[in-house]
Chains A and B, each alone.
Chain A
């Protein structure tokens, strides 16, 4: 029985993906915000401004995002070294396809003066 359980465990380890892997390495900025990030869908933004959502990358994400349920919040997982202007350009595009509830994913951090 132990052998079978062990085999099952290895099988699930190999096949299951608990969280979908990130399309690229993203380090969110630190923040003192205390709201947990619990939005079901995540839009990834890399340090050089590349967008990724599930399997699609680049400007095709807007078409994929437009099919989403607009009542659910969307969280943006952007790299800390992303130019803030790129984020500022992204927000009106998201608003144009009807996404109004946005949250920026941050890492918890204590203190920190601007």
Chain B
């Protein structure tokens, strides 16, 4: 039997540098990433112009504390009950007019409530 070279023991690579690099990468991505996936709320722009209004007027005025439908004060409950009678089709547009003092959070809350009630084509007008 020939023994050309003595069998070498495999060098065990040290794990410490790799752990260092992985830790650094972890810190890097923690700093670079933007946490909390943002959500999006689709908006329709007014002024398409070529679609005729269909059915009864549906104008919801959003004040900071109150809501009114076509000028008559409503609560969120009566609003979602009264709207379907004015809708020719379930996808018909509904106009939302924010009051002067209404902030965006309030408007988004109303849009959320209407979307939850099934009214998806909402147009924000001035």
Residues of chain A at the chain B interface (Cβ within 8 Å) = 1-2, 5-6, 9, 12-13, 18-19, 28-39, 75-76, 78-85, 87-89, 91-92, 94-96, 99-108, 112-114
> Which one of A6, A29, A94, A105 contacts B105 once the chains associate, using CB atoms below 8 Å?
A29
Q: A88-B97, A95-B47 are in contact. Are A31 and B104 (CB under 8 A)?
A: no
> Which one of A9, A31, A39, A82 contacts B103 once the chains associate, using CB atoms below 8 Å?
A82
Are B46 and A92 touching (Cβ within 8 A)?
Answer: yes
**Number of residues of chain B lying within 8 A (CB) of chain A:** 48
0/1 interface trace, chain B 105-117, chain A, CB 8 Å (1 if under): 1111111110110
B102 surroundings in chain A (CB, below 8 A): 83-85
0/1 interface trace, chain B 42-84, chain A, CB 8 Å (1 if under): 1111111000000000000010000100000000100000000
With A and B bound together, what is the CA distance between A91 and B122 in angstroms?
Answer: 13
Q: Chain B binding site: helix, strand, loop or mixed by DSSP?
A: mixed
Are B76 and A85 touching (Cβ within 8 A)?
Answer: no
Are B46 and A85 touching (Cβ within 8 A)?
Answer: no
- List 6 A-B pairs, minimum CB-CB distance, nearest first: A84-B98, A95-B45, A103-B40, A37-B40, A84-B107, A37-B38
Q: A35-B42, A88-B98 are in contact. Are A106 and B25 (CB under 8 A)?
A: no
Are B108 and A88 touching (Cβ within 8 A)?
Answer: no
